[in-house]
Amino acid sequence: MDYHNYTVDELATDPSFIRWVKGDDTDAKQFWENWQQQHPQKSAEVQQARQLVLLFLSNSTSTQYEASSEEIANAKIYIRQKIQTQPVVDPPRPSPRITPHFYRWAAIITLLVTSSLTFWWLNTPVELTTYQTEFGKTRTIVLSDQSVVTLNANSILKAPEVWQNGQPRNVWLSGEAFFEITTQPDASDQRFIVHTDVVDVQVLGTKFNLRQRRQQAEVVLTEGKVTVNSSTDSRNEATYTMLPGDRLQTQGQNFIKSQVDVEKYISWRHNRLFFEEQTLREIAKRLEDDYGLQTKFDNYEIATMVFTGSCPTDNLSVLYEALSVALDLKIHQENQLLIINNNHNQ
């Protein structure tokens, strides 16, 4: 994560920064101490953000403060909105009779009032609309900016009804979706940011597929340009820029970038599931994520078999038949359980 351009409010709502202020995370402590040494010009912002966090913690009824990625992003939106809408008032001319102590206490009171208002804004909830799909179903959503999101099976998208001009367009995804993002020629802030538990994807006007399952994420870009960074590891400051045809996937805390045939990764939008050199274990995970199916293998060797092929998303029996013929298997489904055996054992 690149904190070099972070504002006070962004620092104060960053999970790693909060853990450092609380003093209960040795990794965060080491990171922020080193970061301050490397960026001494940010000392004033760091101290102001630290005071905001301490003030909040002192007034909190909870002994811990842990925020989700959605809550953190919401906080950033509302803090910026409220700060930007506050009127600018010229300070009164000082009277010669007022002592320096007066100004010192006035500054302290002003800081406390501003901090209190900031944390009131921080905890003001953002009203989000939730869009959800069932197993085996897809859904097309047109957002208020006319961006189109195609939501894959067993997925959830959360987005505001409207966005404020001058603010980035933030949405939150769990599952898989294909995004077709519009540009906003009259908006001062063109950014569209998709937040997940693993990565944040920032775009302007573009088309891309984002899949986030099992604490791993995969981004495939079909048009335009996007940047991706980790939303979980504050020590990873790397930002990855993607061009059309790029695929970026996470493996633990690492990112792997490659060039792919994007149509194979977005085939689900056209009612097709495509598998290329995938093991049956990997296919079983896809069926569980998208259809809620559990798979039982007769033995370990079956799970490691490799398959390439496709089938309609609404007719998995075509996939079962293809697997049976190609790999000499017997496949039987009982409700939501898929049983796969060697054909010669039956």
Would you place residue 60 in the very low, low, confident or very high pLDDT band (cuts 50, 70, 90)? very low
Q: Is 181 within a domain?
A: yes
Q: Is 2 within a domain?
A: no
Residues 246 and 182 in one domain: yes
Residues 135 and 250 in one domain: yes
Predicted local confidence at residue 279, as pLDDT: 95
Predicted local confidence at residue 1, as pLDDT: 67
Q: How many domains are contained in the chain?
A: 3
Would you place residue 39 in the very low, low, confident or very high pLDDT band (cuts 50, 70, 90)? confident
Residues 190 and 318 in one domain: no
Task: Give strand ranges (E) for the chain.
Answer: 128-132, 139-142, 148-151, 156-160, 169-180, 192-195, 199-203, 207-213, 216-223, 226-230, 239-242, 246-251, 254-259, 272-279, 294-297, 306-312, 329-334, 337-342
Residues 252 and 297 in one domain: no
Predicted local confidence at residue 101, as pLDDT: 47
SS3 state at 143: coil
The whole-number average pLDDT for the span 135-148 is 92
The better pLDDT of the pair 120, 137 is held by: 137
Q: Which of 201-205, 215-219, 302-306 has the lowest mean pLDDT?
A: 201-205
Residues 159 and 222 in one domain: yes
Structural domain that includes position 140: 128-264
Predicted local confidence at residue 345, as pLDDT: 59
Report whether pLDDT(142) > 60.
yes
* 43-59 and 26-38 helices, crossing angle to 10°: 150
pLDDT in tens, 283-325: 999 999 999 999 999 888 999 999 999 899 999 999 999 999 9
Predicted local confidence at residue 273, as pLDDT: 92
- The tokens describing 26, both together, are 């040795």
Tokens 């910026």 appear where? 80
The whole-number average pLDDT for the span 47-59 is 64
Residues 136 and 253 in one domain: yes
Half-sphere exposure of 346 (CA within 13 A, CB side): 12
Predicted local confidence at residue 78, as pLDDT: 44
CA distance linking residue 281 with residue 156, whole number of Å: 25
Predicted local confidence at residue 25, as pLDDT: 76
Residues 277 and 247 in one domain: no
β-bridge mates for residue 342, sequence order: 329
Q: Is 1 within a domain?
A: no
Residues 253 and 307 in one domain: no
Domain boundary residue, one of 80, 101, 122: 122
The whole-number average pLDDT for the span 319-334 is 92
CA distance linking residue 275 with residue 290, whole number of Å: 14
Q: Is 3 within a domain?
A: no
| Beta carbons of 3 and 40 less than 8 angstroms apart | no
SS3 state at 211: strand
**How many helices (H) does the chain have, and how many strands (E)?**
10, 18
Mean pLDDT over each residue of the chain, to the nearest integer:
78
Would you place residue 117 in the very low, low, confident or very high pLDDT band (cuts 50, 70, 90)? very low
- What proportion of the chain, given as a percentage, has pLDDT over 90? 43
Report whether pLDDT(214) > 80.
yes
Domain boundary residue, one of 122, 156, 188: 122
The better pLDDT of the pair 9, 332 is held by: 332
Residues 281 and 229 in one domain: no
In this prediction the pTM is 0.62
Here the CATH number for the domain that contains residue 136 is 2.60.120.1440
